[in-house]
Chain A
Amino acid sequence: MINKKTVLAASVALACSFPSFAEQTFRIVVEANNNKASIVKSALQAKNVKIEKEIKSLESFAVTINKAQLAEIAGLSNIKAFYPDVPRKLMSEEPMQFLPYGYTMVQADKVQYQGGQKVCVIDSGYALSHPDLPSAGVTGSADGGAGVWYEDPFGHGTHVAGTIAAIDDNKGSAGIVGDHSLDMHIVRVFAGNGSWAYASDLAGAIDECQQAGSTVISMSLGGKYSSPIEERAINKVARNNILMIAAAGNSGDASHSYPASYDSVVSVAAVDSVKQHASFSQRSSQVELSAPGVGVFSTIPVGKGRFSKFSVMQDDVNFQHYALDGSRFGSVTGELVDCGRGTESCGDVTGKICLVERGDSPFYSKVEQCEADGGVGVIIRNNIEGQLVGNINPTTLVVGAVMMNEGLHLMEQLGQETTISVAEFTDHDFKSGTSMATPHVSGVAAVVWSNFPECTANGIRLALRASADDQGEAGYDHAYGWGVVQAKAAVDYISEHGCSAPKGVLRGGDGSAH
């Protein structure tokens, strides 16, 4: 006969993703036989098992044990059953807002949109029913074969649109224009899986944007071949005073991508949260501006968000990633302290936030060490490239991870008051790509133009170049173009210098490329 306790132990192991380390603790429920709760309780205490909760009416205990103790409990008498105390969490959006780092990086917080612009988004559709996206003032083109514009099974277009116009209401995210006042037109050219559209689709879509009265066209898409019909459509629209913005491409090499590399289109490269050029972002002589494109937080179709989200805020810091599974939800604020790799006590860090480097010990151990030292939250900083996703034992601390360059940045910010937060956000997620950088420029262009409606598209384009936050090599370079787009600086530039510009097609990139 199969031992019932062996089966139970196996189920615990499966359900808990059984710990790899003998000392790692986890939480289980122990049910006593009828009228034997007091005997079981004594037995548990005798074995130094930590009883987290006693439910007398059910003659049960929630206990925290390690792998070795599990074997001991399995041998106890008077136990009816034991099984994982599985976590539960809220299934609705948290009443919390993560302000995307790009929002402040492009100075969207410093310039008010004045109305009168319409941004056309050519993409995979738009989740019109999304609670964090505007519906009034949003129109779309008829289904051209890819599907209706007001749905977005793929989610790409909804993310792009959220960066431009997510509602700033202390919940979810916030777009460059977050007050419902920006008109948008949606043209869907990508079907459900988001895989392909053709140059002719794009040529038609650009024409539809113009017919809808758009002033800015945002194209988070591209391909390696130029197309005569696409270029004709784009040049025609450019002559009609419409500003076009497109993604520089994600192949990470030095190569052109179209439509971004047509002269009439502003090619946008991607930077990360510390303004470093994204490794995937293509370099070319047509790259004109940069914008946030790594781990961008924005809207996705309702219910499709993955994992919990984590943010780190200081005066000049706004980092956002996935939380470590097991963190508690909510926010804590405290002084940031360096706790090395968290393998030993960091001293008394009561009320503080531990900054811990990855390595040498498991994540749960680093968290438990910080908790034992009195900390209220943990930031694990990665020490290799890439995003860190992991899990820990359920904890009362707020815990998340940041990327390597962000961690190094935080090491220079020790002692500062820091707020870290974890929330669910089932209707929002992170995406990376020059696709995500593009709508930052589109939104900023609309904001700047709304302040100077007398300017032409070329005038706005030249002002965005001249006022960009220069990064990389001094002046223009192929990775960043003229730099990171800046809304306030562009407004100031036009106020001082005006926005006169030549008619006709401008050369892209540094102004000489074609």
Chain B
Amino acid sequence: MKLTQLGLLIATAAILSGCAKIDARVSAGGTLNSKGGAGKAVFTAHAARCDGDVSGQVNYKDLTAIDWQQMGGVAFNANVYGAGLCSEEPVDPEGAESGDERLYCKQDICTEGMYQVEFNYSSTNPTAPGEGVGFACMMDISEGVKTGIGANGLLNVMLLESGPYQGYSNAGTISGNVQLHDCPASKNDNTAQ
């Protein structure tokens, strides 16, 4: 009986928690399928979370996205305010230390091994001006091997949650790359001189 209760407790904790973000950097760039459209979406991202400091930028264009073509497509530049590599360690979002969403990845969306960025975007499409927020999860699948076909990463999801492109989402295999990097030693290594 106690084991059952413990199982339920673990299951409940898992439901409430996302994976903890850990320090790492990501650089990504390339094209992926448009959101249903005939063209390609172009995506670049540089983000870092080192010693808890977050920085980075995301640029994105999907000019042929179905349902967004009438307004000239989706195009924005963004500043990253949350970033990190999703770890295997769950974090309880109700916990005192982890009340800040920037500390954990999106439950069931950005899972272990993916890099998550949250950003404030500003539209660069003059027919759809405005600002909003969104997030993206990406995965480095190249492991340094050049396939010759160019598929070195996945954009697991890009979702714009507010602003002129609210509701836009996309996902796909990136022709280009997604590369994860450790933080510089001078940032994370306490013994560094």
Please give the residue numbers on chain A whose beta carbons come within 8 Å of chain B beta carbons, in ascending order: 224-228, 231-232, 253-256, 261, 282-285, 478, 509-510, 512-514
Pair A255/B36 contact, Cβ less than 8 Å: yes
Interface status of B67 (Cβ within 8 A of chain A): yes
CB within 8 A of B33: which of A227, A232, A261? A261
Question: Could you list 8 examples of A-B contacts with CB < 8 Å?
Answer: A224-B171, A225-B171, A225-B173, A254-B35, A254-B36, A254-B37, A284-B37, A478-B36
Find the residue from A232, A256, A282 having the highest chain B CB count within 10 A.
Answer: A256
Q: Closest chain B residue to A509 by CB distance?
A: B38
Q: Closest chain B residue to A507 by CB distance?
A: B38
Residues of B within 8 Å of A284, CB to CB, are 36-37, 66
Pair B151/A226 contact, Cβ less than 8 Å: yes
Residues of B within 8 Å of A509, CB to CB, are 38
Interface status of B34 (Cβ within 8 A of chain A): yes
Interface status of B65 (Cβ within 8 A of chain A): yes
A513 touching B36 in the complex, CB below 8 Å, given contacts A224-B171, A228-B147, A254-B66: no
Pair B172/A226 contact, Cβ less than 8 Å: yes
Interface status of B149 (Cβ within 8 A of chain A): yes
- In the bound complex, CA of A425 to CA of B7 (Å): 43
| Secondary structure type dominating chain B contacts | loop
Within 8 A of A (CB), among B136-193: 147, 149, 151, 154, 170-173
Q: Closest chain B residue to A199 by CB distance?
A: B173
Q: Closest chain A residue to B149 by CB distance?
A: A228
Interface status of B64 (Cβ within 8 A of chain A): yes
Pair A226/B36 contact, Cβ less than 8 Å: no
Digitize B30-55: 1 where CB-to-A-CB distance is under 8 Å, 0 elsewhere.
00011111100000000000000000
CB within 8 A of A285: which of B36, B151, B154? B36
Give min CB distance, B114 to chain A, whole Å.
13
Give min CB distance, B135 to chain A, whole Å.
17
Q: Closest chain A residue to B36 by CB distance?
A: A254
Within 8 A of A (CB), among B75-117: none
Shortest Cβ-Cβ A-B pairs, 7 listed: A254-B36, A254-B66, A285-B38, A228-B149, A284-B36, A513-B38, A226-B173
Known: A231-B149, A254-B36. 11 other contacts (CB 8 A): A228-B173, A254-B35, A254-B67, A255-B170, A256-B172, A285-B34, A285-B38, A478-B36, A478-B66, A509-B38, A510-B38
- In the bound complex, CA of A376 to CA of B80 (Å): 69
Pair B36/A253 contact, Cβ less than 8 Å: yes
Chain B interface category by residue count: 10 to 19
CB within 8 A of A226: which of B33, B35, B66, B170? B33
- In the bound complex, CA of A66 to CA of B65 (Å): 60
Digitize B10-47: 1 where CB-to-A-CB distance is under 8 Å, 0 elsewhere.
00000000000000000000000111111000000000
Residues of A within 8 Å of B34, CB to CB, are 256, 285
Residues of B within 8 Å of A261, CB to CB, are 33
CB within 8 A of B66: which of A285, A510, A512, A514? A285
Pair A512/B65 contact, Cβ less than 8 Å: no
- In the bound complex, CA of A513 to CA of B171 (Å): 18
- In the bound complex, CA of A115 to CA of B119 (Å): 59
Pair A254/B33 contact, Cβ less than 8 Å: no
CB within 8 A of A256: which of B36, B67, B154? B36
Give min CB distance, B137 to chain A, whole Å.
13
Give min CB distance, A479 to chain B, whole Å.
10
- In the bound complex, CA of A282 to CA of B149 (Å): 27
CB within 8 A of A225: which of B37, B66, B147, B154? B154
Pair A228/B38 contact, Cβ less than 8 Å: no
Give min CB distance, B12 to chain A, whole Å.
25
CB within 8 A of B37: which of A224, A226, A232, A285? A285
Q: Closest chain A residue to B38 by CB distance?
A: A285
- In the bound complex, CA of A285 to CA of B39 (Å): 9
- In the bound complex, CA of A510 to CA of B66 (Å): 14
Find the residue from A225, A228, A253, A513 having the highest chain B CB count within 10 A.
Answer: A225
Residues of A within 8 Å of B170, CB to CB, are 255
Q: Closest chain B residue to A226 by CB distance?
A: B173
- In the bound complex, CA of A228 to CA of B36 (Å): 19
Give min CB distance, B94 to chain A, whole Å.
32
Residues of A within 8 Å of B173, CB to CB, are 225-228
- In the bound complex, CA of A232 to CA of B150 (Å): 13
Give min CB distance, A100 to chain B, whole Å.
29
Residues of A within 8 Å of B65, CB to CB, are 254
Q: Closest chain B residue to A231 by CB distance?
A: B149
- In the bound complex, CA of A509 to CA of B64 (Å): 14
- In the bound complex, CA of A282 to CA of B171 (Å): 14
- In the bound complex, CA of A478 to CA of B36 (Å): 9
Residues of B within 8 Å of A478, CB to CB, are 36, 66
- In the bound complex, CA of A228 to CA of B37 (Å): 20
Residues of B within 8 Å of A225, CB to CB, are 154, 171-173
Pair B36/A514 contact, Cβ less than 8 Å: no
Q: Closest chain A residue to B154 by CB distance?
A: A225
Q: Closest chain B residue to A513 by CB distance?
A: B38
Residues of B within 8 Å of A232, CB to CB, are 149
Give min CB distance, A109 to chain B, whole Å.
34
